[in-house]
Structure 1
Amino acid sequence: MASKLCLQLFLLLAFITPHLTSARHLHNHKPSLLFPEHLIGSSKNDNIVEGIHKVKAYLQHYGYFSNENANTLSTDAFDDDLESAIKSYQKFSKLKVSGVLDKETLQQMSKPRCGVRDTFVSVAQQEHENKNTNIEIGGSHYTFYFNNVTWPAEKKHLSYGFIHNYPPQFVDPLVRAFETWEDNTKFSFFLAPRVQTADILVSFERGDHGDYQAFDGEGGILAHSLGAVDGRVHFDADEPWESGPIEDRVDLESVALHELGHTLGLGHSREPSAVMYAFMDPGVYKTHLTIDDIEGIRALYGA
């Protein structure tokens, strides 16, 4: 299987190299602080807090507000809905559940992360949807992608392709990420003979790139996937990408392994060591699936 993927890699590089640009020029500015420090310690008792609408926008993006809250999202009112959303975020992130914007919560919100929302249907939520209990069950922290779509049972051989001048130096880490999922699932992956027919399309994008999930420059959102069957995987071209654990750089293989998990139907895990954990600090290297990741994918498709 490894020799097959190596052949695919050779053919791919031969085809795309003349058209590609160096990823050394993919990022061009430094990240800024995501939230102002004066928000630390804010709570419902403060009523109105300047800049709190930025926290609401963050929590809405990651699924902690329903559409019913749309009219209040642009205000700086620290209301019951915001307190509830913060508590949900703190619970999912394994922080102290207080509803207060303490330093730890704002630090967590400021970390680089996947752009896919956090609110999925977990095993525990399915079993305890009407009970006030911890959402963990059986030691598992995995969840499923929010639309609950999976690949059909007969679709186990998935093709992939690279578009929009995908950098050649990041083909090999992406192929290794495919290999890791192939070694732990019933799926196999192969380079599409024509990119137009690929099940999974991978690309580097900037800003608003046509999927209603705009990137935000260096820091913040690193990448996102549009889930199973859709198959699109996008990396933010403004991030300081590298191949390997290098300080202050983002490891492409680690993030790719995470995004491919979304492409297979997994959501975010609450376990920080898991590949499917939403946050990825620069210099972190995650190239092996954890028990939680493997249990999650087997819950979707069987052992």
Structure 2
Amino acid sequence: MAPKLAISALLLLLVIIQALFGAQKGYTIEGLNQVKQYLKAFGYYSINGGSLTDSFDDVLESTLKSYQQHYRLKATGRIDSNTLKKMSTPRCGVQDIFNDSNDDVKPIIIRAFNTWAVVSNFTFREANPSDIVMGFHRGFHGDNYPFDGLGNVLAHAFAPQNGRLHYDADENWNTNNVIRLNQIDLETIAIHEIGHILGLGHSQDPNTIMYAYYRPGTIKRNLGQDDIDGIRALYSN
């Protein structure tokens, strides 16, 4: 969902952010709440508006590190020059990452991770900042692999230890257990892409999760034997 910020309000917000250059944990400065609003608008904050104060607290430091990590900046947890430059750059209004307000999406992602956890030695937990960052994007989105709109490429992920997983925001995503013929099942694709994050390549077996092709309107949420053998072979020790 795009942030509901008018253009004039966003320009004012960027001016305020520039005035906060150098701020770090422990500071209380008028305008810090606007930085929190900016980060919340793009999916980094899951707290309600009443908690968005002018105090540079532990939560803001952690959230800034998550933002910096997402854009491959040095994770200082401060409003440094590189972070300020990035925040001041014109950008797409689609959120970068999921937050707790995505009630339909979060359980799906948890189940997708658990699918791999039950057949491996991995355990996964929610963290901020995180080793794995997910988000919906359109077209060019900063990783040299632009999305192509509806159809064709649905998502992509990067092998260890990159930790990025991007979904094409233009797809008709399904978040239910009943799917329509033209929909893409989010959980199916999430399980597949998490496999890539863990280091797996594509399988030649069409019955596996790691098969490269997906037919719209289908749900395939169970690992095949080749998937299981692959993850166990990679992490056998």
TM-score normalized with structure 2 length: 0.57
Letter in 2 for 1:212: N
Which of 225, 228, 234 is residue 294 of structure 1 equivalent to? 228
Return closer, same or farther for 1:18/1:285 CA change in 2, 3 Å cut-off. farther
Which of 16, 26, 36 is residue 46 of structure 2 equivalent to? 16
- The 3-state SS of whatever aligns with 1:272 is coil
State yes or no: 1:239 paired with 2:167.
no
State yes or no: 1:229 paired with 2:161.
yes
RMSD of aligned alpha carbons: 2.0
Between 1 and 2, higher relative CO (CA 8 Å, sep ≥ 6) is seen in: 1
Return closer, same or farther for 1:278/1:245 CA change in 2, 3 Å cut-off. farther
- The 3-state SS of whatever aligns with 1:191 is coil
Corresponding residue for residue 217 of structure 1: 149
Rounded Cα–Cα distance in structure 1 between residues aligned with 2:153 and 2:47: 27
Which of 100, 117, 136 is residue 182 of structure 1 equivalent to? 117
State yes or no: 1:203 paired with 2:135.
yes
- The 3-state SS of whatever aligns with 1:257 is helix
Return closer, same or farther for 1:274/1:245 CA change in 2, 3 Å cut-off. farther
Alignment: residue pair count: 144
- Runs (4 or more) in structure 1 with deviation over 3 Å come to none
Letter in 2 for 1:246: I
Equivalent residues of 1:254, 1:287 under 8 A apart: yes
Letter in 2 for 1:202: M
TM-score normalized with structure 1 length: 0.45
TM-fit CA distance, 1:245: 4.2
TM-fit CA distance, 1:18: 6.0
TM-fit CA distance, 1:288: 1.1
Equivalent residues of 1:223, 1:234 under 8 A apart: yes
- Please give the residue correspondences for 1:247-258 in structure 2 after superposition, counting only pairs within 5 Å: 247=180, 248-258=182-192
- The 3-state SS of whatever aligns with 2:233 is helix
Which of 211, 214, 217 is residue 277 of structure 1 equivalent to? 211
- Please give the residue correspondences for 1:83-232 in structure 2 after superposition, counting only pairs within 5 Å: 164=96, 166=98, 167-192=102-127, 194=128, 197-232=129-164
Q: Which has the higher strand share?
A: 1
Rounded Cα–Cα distance in structure 2 between residues aligned with 1:17 and 1:269: 40
Corresponding residue for residue 200 of structure 2: 266
- The 3-state SS of whatever aligns with 1:221 is coil
Equivalent residues of 2:97, 2:134 under 8 A apart: no
Letter in 2 for 1:265: G
